[in-house]
Structure formats: C-alpha cells, structure tokens
Chain A
Amino acid sequence: MKNTFILEARNVNKRFGGVIAANDVNLQVKPGELRCIIGPNGAGKSTLFSLLCGIQRVDSGEIFIHEHDVTHKQQFKRVRFGIGLTFQTNRTYQDLSVKRNLAIPNPSLAHSKSAHQQSKERMVMALKGFDLDPQDETRACELPHHKLQWLEIAMVLAGFPDLLLIDEPTAGMSRDETDRTVEILKQLNDHGLTIVVVEHDMHFVKSIAQKVTVLHQGRIFMEGNVADITANEDVKNIYLGHAH
C-alpha cells in the first residue's frame, strides 16, 4: 500500500535511562500541511525532532521521509531527502557575515530537483518577508535575536527543503515579531512548503496551525484542529496549567 505522507513516524520509541522520551509515537504529516506540535516542558517535542532528523537514533520504530525508510540513515543523508531543521537554540554561524551564512547551505544536495524553481521562489519570499539581504556583510552576532531566528529559517530554506521542521521559532520574540513570523510561514506554506513547528506560545499556535498534535510524557496525547485542542479539558489540565 502506497502511503501519501511526506513524513511518517511509526511506533517510534526512545528512552534515556529511566526517562521515556518517545513512547510509541505515530506521526503522519501530509504534503502541504502546517502542523504544530505542542506539549509541556519535557514532553519530548525536541527529542522527536532529533529522532526524525537522525541526530538521535530510535530504539525501535521506523521513520519515513517521502516514503523512503530513513530509520538507519545518517542525519546528513536524511537532509538530502528534502528535510530542513532549525534548532531550538539559534545555530546561525555567529562569527560569519549574513552573506556567508546564507551561502553555506548547498541547494545541489537537495533531493527533489523538480521543485527547484518553486524553492527559489520560496527563498526570495522568505528573504523579502524577513527583510534579509543576501549581500549583507554584517556579522550574524550583531543581529538582534528575532533577526537571527529568521536568518536560520532562511538558511535552511536556501538548502531547498520541501519539509521544514522548526523548533520554537518565536521564543523570545515580541508580539509583532511573532505575528510577522506567522505571516511568512503561512505564505511559505501556501507556496507548497510543508511545515512542522514545535511551539510553546499559544498565541502563535492559534494564529497559525491547521492541525495540532499534543505530546505528553513522550506520548501522543491528542491530535486535532486548534479549536478542539484548546477547548479540550484534558489538554488544559496537562498543558495550559489547569486553567478554569
């Protein structure tokens, strides 16, 4: 049976000693989705991302990107299947100029050559939306925090992925900056980019997500649209701090 998911995790498990970081996780993302993954601290959101990208290996289970089994592939090889990741802590090259930061990713390593033109358009869109100049000689460490977050997203897009995993992009951003981020990510999504975002900020989640996955103690607790998730009493209990 042919599955139609751009990213799929099947029965993924991961333990760190006594801590269960991923407990039988099944995640399915369709092409063109904009998915949010939420959950309290320590729910295993970032671990799930590093399992999907291969930074950490699963104890059991399987991971598919574009229907390719990548469970036993090294991280740089998974990237070549068209997956792009930004990290929870900003990992732009602080000592290099914006120009050189944007020149490091190599589009020719990307998997899908067919989507080249589309990827280029996305890149132009992101640079414009985030107000970044690819010829800018400013060192990255001189940029403000939100600009760095945007720069890292733009860098990942320069590698021409068709699936973008973003880990807490708006942490530490002002409301205006968050709204701008939402706007650009929506534009990119409209232009065919599949996006999965881990986020804490409910304002962000409410304004962006089509579908939300709730992680709790390494397990998928609930999946559904934003309204259902935010209305759910159990989700409120575990995540929204017992709101009444």
Chain B
Amino acid sequence: MNSKILHLIGGGADIGTSRTFWIGFIIVVILFALYPIQVSEFRASNAAYYLLNIPLGLGMALLWGYCGVLSFGHVAYFGIAGYTYGIIAGNMVGNSFGLIAGVIGGLLASTLVAGVFAYFVFYARVREWIIPILTLVLTILLETFLGQTAGYQWRVGSVLLGGYNGMTGIPSIQIGSFVFMGYSFYYLCLIIVLVCYVALRMLLNSNFGQVVIAIREDPLRTEMFGYDIRARKWLVFVLSAVLASISGLLYVQWGNYITPSQVGLLSAALPVIWASVGGRSSLLAVIIATLILNWVNFTLSAQGNQYAMVIIGTALVITMLFFPRGIVVMTAEWIGKFTNRSNNEATH
C-alpha cells in the first residue's frame, strides 16, 4: 500500500524520479520554508505573490501539457473566483462564515462556468485549434463586461464591481481572529502549492492520468480502446479551471483588490508563456518558470520599469526558437543523458 502511494508520487509522469532528485526537492522545500526567517515581511509577501500564481500555471500544464488542449483564457476562472469571493465575503463582513462562503462560492462559480463551457466545447467535438480562440473570447468578454461596471448601479449588495478601477477592500481570509497576511500568507501559499504539486503528480501517475496522456498522444486511438475521451477532457478542463480559481482566490487575499485587467489579453497570455518557457509537459518545469518569470516581472515593474513584458516576450521567443520543449524540460533531459552516460562509463 505504502509503496503504491510512493509509486504514484514518484512515477514517471514528471521529470525527476531518482533518489538524488527527491533529496534535492526536499532541500529546496526546506529552503523555501526557511526563507521568511531571513527576510522582511514585505519581501515574504512578494514571494507569496510568485507562489500564488503557481496553481494557475499547474492548471495550464495539466490541460495543455498533459491533455493536449490549449486554453488561452484560463485567467477567466482566476477572475471569476476572485470577483465572486469579493462579492460574497464583502457582503458578509462580520459573519464568521463569510470568508469560507466566499471561498466555496468562488470555486463553485468558476467550476460552473468552466463545466458549461467545456461541455459545449468537448461534447460538440469542436476541433482542437478552435478551442484556444473560444477560451480567449470568453475571457475578453469577461474583461469587457467588468470594464464597464463603473458606477453605483453596478453593485451586488454592498460591494461595488468598480469598472476598470476594480473591486477594492476585499477581506482577507482568517481563522477566528487569525488573519493570513505577510509571513503566514506566505506559508499558506507554500503549503497549497506543495499540495497541488503532489496531488497532480499522483493523479497523472494513476490510470486516469495515463489515459489523459494517451489522449494527448492520439485521441482517436484512445477512444478506440473504449474510453469516452469527451468526458475525460471535460474533467481535466474543469480541474484546471479549479486550479486557476485557487490562484484567483489567493490573489484577492494577497492584494485585497482585483481589476478587469487580471482577465485581459495580457494576463491571459502569461500562463501560456510560463508553461511554454518551462516546458508544458512537466509540472515541476512549469512551477520553476512561473516562479522565475513572476519574480522578473514583479521586480522590474516595482522599479517602475516598463521592460518587464518585453523581457518576458523575449524569453518566449528564445524558448520557441531554441528550446521547443521548454528550457527546464530540455535542461533536465540533458542532465539525464549526461548522468546516464557517466553511469555507463562507470560500469564499463
């Protein structure tokens, strides 16, 4: 039983299966856990921002990298969850269930939208290359709608949607009187990221995940083994939307605001870039790329620098030209080959 769980976590669905890898992984996790001790609360909070985007990136890896379906609009679910949380929690200020209701409501709302959308896309057997366009249209529609909600008439209960200025004063999550912010919010994000990563690795190493990979490799062949690939793609789409929602919920905790630009074209492109640069067929690669690119973006933007997007765009172009399977993935392949060769030489 125990070995079965270990096999699910450590199986070959992601890069890194050796003992050395796992020792390194644990060391890195410990370093991340120790990081806040070294730095100010402000910097820990910035690091939390890099972490909170990771579930969104993992959702892209799951859907695009492992199932072969590209969504260019997953930020829509990020936004729906964030806005819904803001509306519910904002209306229930003072009620101890308000924040939990906001989290559940946010997840439910984006799951519902993703479920209906994906039903029409997959059960109508829409062609693969149309899906990115449809998803992009959905998120731009959402941005356009939210953008025109300035004014007092656009309020839900006591919460203003706020047009392009966005929704402000969104309450942070708390347990009793303990509010997650600064250091504690960093740890909340770190734990959520770890749980998402391990759970996804287990899912992808399970039979379900193996069939998802088979669908990516050859949908018709997989269907001719008796699998209802529509149902599986639907489920994977919804699951990745839930991951995007988790990021959305964490984002509104972090900044206590959300604006329509979070679901706009630029934001929509970012998760696709993280997945491409890291290597979409690996969860860990996407995590690394998400962390680094967000750090670059955030650091440059915080200095009032306008070049952040130019640099990230350049990273994308370099990746597509020289690292078609992603920088992290191809580096890992190279390391794998190198260690294999030296192992072989050692045995000869």
Contact = CB atoms under 8 A, between A and B. Distances in A.
A106 interface: yes
Nearest to B221: A91
Interface string A71-93: 00011100110001101000111
A177 to B, nearest CB: 22
Given A103-B210, A104-B211, A79 B225 contact: yes
Interface residues of A, number: 26
B188 interface: no
Interface size on B, as a range, is 10 to 19
A67 to B, nearest CB: 19
A106 B226 CA distance: 8
A96 interface: yes
Given A100-B210, A104-B211, A80 B221 contact: no
A93 B217 contact: yes
B217 A87 contact: no
Contact of B217 (A84, A95, A105, A109): A95
Contacts of B227: 76, 106, 109
Interface string B182-226: 000000000000000000000000010011011001101111111
Nearest to A81: B226
B65 to A, nearest CB: 13
A109 B220 contact: no
A91 B217 CA distance: 9
Nearest to B223: A76
A96 B214 contact: yes
Nearest to A100: B210
B229 A91 contact: no
Interface in B227-252: 227-229
A80 B207 CA distance: 18
A104 B210 contact: yes
- The binding surface of chain B is classed by DSSP as helix
**For chain A, what secondary structure do more than half of its interface residues adopt (helix, strand, loop), or is it mixed?**
loop
A160 B222 CA distance: 15
Given A96-B214, A100-B210, A104-B210, A109 B221 contact: no
Contacts of A138: none
A197 interface: no
Interface string A52-82: 0101000000000000000000111001100
Contacts of B226: 76, 79-80, 105-106, 109-110, 159
A95 B217 CA distance: 8
A94 interface: yes
Contacts of B214: 93, 96, 104
A104 B213 CA distance: 10
A154 to B, nearest CB: 12
Which of A84, A92, A93, A104 has most chain B Cβ within 10 Å?
A104
Contacts of B210: 100, 103-104
Which 7 A-B pairs give the minimum distances between C-beta atoms?
A109-B226, A79-B226, A91-B221, A93-B217, A105-B225, A104-B214, A76-B223
Interface of A: 53, 55, 74-76, 79-80, 84-85, 87, 91-96, 100, 103-106, 109-110, 155-156, 159
Given A74-B228, A95-B217, 19 more contacts: A55-B224, A75-B223, A75-B224, A76-B224, A76-B228, A79-B224, A79-B226, A91-B220, A91-B221, A94-B217, A96-B217, A103-B210, A104-B211, A106-B207, A106-B226, A109-B225, A109-B226, A155-B225, A156-B225
